[in-house]
């Protein structure tokens, strides 16, 4: 099968998952054409690289345009890739603009080269295109059209599928969660290769290390994390490591000084591989206002690190409260801090959560999830859209 995958090259979950999917499909023998405005940072030179072809959307600045015409250039790139490499199917991540661009490319191919078979388009929803961007009055009908015109639509969580049905009146969605290649998340091996103990000592001498990873957008509420951590510091010898970058970073650094905890907080910036930092962490903290899935939380669980998060969106589908982490109402900052302190002080309970974290994460292993994408592709290419499952499809994940 020849598949074109379109994504943003961002450090957020959509870009990571699209890249992981491309690599997994290549390992299974498919030819994958990954299209993005820049090389995705998780795209490596693994053994499957010979079957992955990266195509960068050109950057062109014309005096006539205030901004580079990214969408039109993406459409043209798709047309070229589809025609030149005889692509069977296009899988886009985000409804706008990627699904619209793929649909336009399909119309151009069919219009210019008569007799070409219709181009199946799979659209994966990751959250922002539904929960924030898509609700804008000018984009709402565009998203509706993208959903209704796609050959297949998937969502990364049951929460996101329900929200899409509620907001857009569209329920023909297959739920396929995000995933990880679990064999690459081996705490002991990564600990040895990265000399994690020594690395941690360069960051802090505190007894406990808390970790947060995000793109520092407002929805991630890094301010809430800092206020909660300030309460934790009163009770425990702890350090907070913040990985990532974005529009809220400057405000977060200022707030750390205002709260008197700047000496106990390290802003490390973007790191392409967060596994060594997860290996040294005692807890992963994610206190967002909105999470359609929470891929960074899954990465923490895969490394055997319990997650403290907010009981919102799709995060409860990733973190099992009381088993591999703790979930709280977003506004209950004192309760969250008490939960962190209590868990770290109860070493027996903490060790049990660490063990369960890894077991729980295996429910989202690459082998289980990618096979579901392959089944979807196959059904669409056979012309059996009905075989994919219309309506919100929720499959329980097993662990064995």
Contact yes or no for 176/376 (Cβ under 8 A): yes
Which residue has 């957020």 as its token pair? 12
Lowest mean pLDDT among 50-54, 135-139, 207-211, 245-249: 135-139
> So what's the pLDDT on residue 39?
87
Q: How far is CA 14 from CA 21, 27, 47, 261, 289, in A?
A: 10, 20, 23, 32, 18
Give yes or no for a contact between 50 and 29, defined as CB atoms under 8 angstroms apart.
no
Q: State residue 287's pLDDT score.
A: 98
Give the lowest-confidence range in 68-72, 322-326, 330-334. 68-72
Write down the pLDDT at residue 400. 36
What is the reported pLDDT for 11?
Answer: 61
Q: Which CATH superfamily is domain 2-179+366-388 in?
A: Glycogen Phosphorylase B; (3.40.50.2000)
Q: Binning pLDDT at 50, 70 and 90, where does residue 135 land?
A: confident
In contact, 298 and 180? CB cutoff 8 Å:
yes
Pinpoint the residues of the chain covered by CATH 3.40.50.2000. Answer: 2-179+366-388, 182-363
Q: Is the pLDDT of residue 81 over 50?
A: yes
Say whether the peptide bond before residue 345 is cis (omega within 30 degrees of 0): no
Provide the whole-model pTM. Answer: 0.91
Tell me, what's the pLDDT at 9? 83
What percent of the chain clears pLDDT 70, i.e. is strictly above it? 93
Task: Let me know the angle formed at the C-alpha of 245 by 244 and 250, rounded to the nearest 5 degrees.
Answer: 125
Give the pLDDT score at 48.
53
Per-residue confidence at 67, pLDDT binned at 50, 70, 90?
confident
Can you give the pLDDT at residue 49?
62
User: How many CA atoms, within 13 angstroms, populate the side-chain half-sphere of residue 169?
Assistant: 4
Domain 182-363's class? Answer: alpha beta
User: Which one, of 290, 267, 270, 284, lies nearest residue 218 by Cα?
Assistant: 290
Q: Which of 119, 127, 92 is nearest to 22 (CA)?
A: 92
Q: Where are the alpha helices (DSSP H) in the chain?
A: 13-27, 70-85, 100-112, 128-131, 140-149, 158-168, 187-194, 196-203, 222-235, 249-258, 275-280, 295-302, 315-318, 333-345, 347-361, 366-381, 385-388
Average of pLDDT values for 186-212?
95
């Amino acid at each position: 099968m020849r598949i074109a995958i379109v994504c943003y090259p961002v450090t957020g979950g959509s870009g990571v998952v699209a890249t992981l999917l491309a690599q997994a499909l290549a390992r299974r023998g498919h030819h994958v054409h990954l299209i993005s405005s820049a090389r995705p940072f998780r795209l490596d030179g693994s053994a499957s690289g010979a079957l992955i072809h990266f195509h960068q959307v050109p950057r062109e600045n014309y005096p006539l345009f205030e901004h580079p015409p990214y969408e039109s250039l993406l459409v043209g790139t798709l047309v070229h890739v589809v025609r030149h490499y005889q692509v069977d199917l296009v899988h886009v991540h985000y409804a706008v603009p990627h699904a619209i661009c793929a649909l336009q490319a399909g119309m151009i191919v069919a219009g210019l080269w008569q007799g070409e078979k219709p181009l199946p388009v799979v659209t994966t929803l990751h959250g922002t295109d539904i929960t924030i961007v898509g609700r804008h009055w000018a984009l709402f009908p565009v998203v509706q059209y993208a959903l209704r015109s796609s050959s297949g639509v998937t969502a990364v969580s049951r929460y996101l599928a329900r929200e899409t049905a509620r907001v857009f009146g569209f329920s023909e969605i297959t739920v396929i969660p995000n995933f990880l290649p679990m064999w690459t998340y081996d705490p002991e091996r990564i600990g040895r290769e990265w000399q994690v103990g020594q690395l941690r000592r360069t960051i802090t001498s505190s007894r406990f290390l808390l970790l947060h990873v995000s793109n520092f957008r407002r929805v991630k509420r890094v301010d809430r994390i800092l206020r909660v951590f300030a309460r934790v510091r009163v009770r425990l010898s702890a350090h907070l490591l913040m990985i990532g970058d974005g529009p809220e970073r400057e405000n977060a650094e200022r707030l750390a000084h205002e709260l008197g905890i700047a000496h106990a907080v390290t802003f490390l910036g973007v790191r392409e591989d967060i596994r060594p930092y997860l290996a040294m962490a005692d807890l992963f903290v994610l206190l967002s206002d909105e999470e359609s899935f929470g891929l960074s939380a899954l990465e923490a669980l895969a490394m055997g690190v319990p997650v403290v998060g907010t009981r919102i969106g799709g995060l409860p589908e990733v973190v099992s409260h009381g088993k591999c982490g703790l979930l709280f109402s977003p506004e209950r900052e004192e309760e969250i801090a008490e939960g962190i302190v209590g868990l770290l002080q109860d070493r027996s309970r903490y060790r049990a959560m660490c063990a369960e974290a890894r077991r729980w994460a295996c429910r989202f292993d690459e082998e289980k999830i990618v096979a579901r994408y392959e089944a979807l592709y196959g059904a669409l290419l056979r012309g059996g859209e009905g075989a994919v499952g219309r309506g919100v499809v929720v499959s329980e994940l097993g662990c064995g």
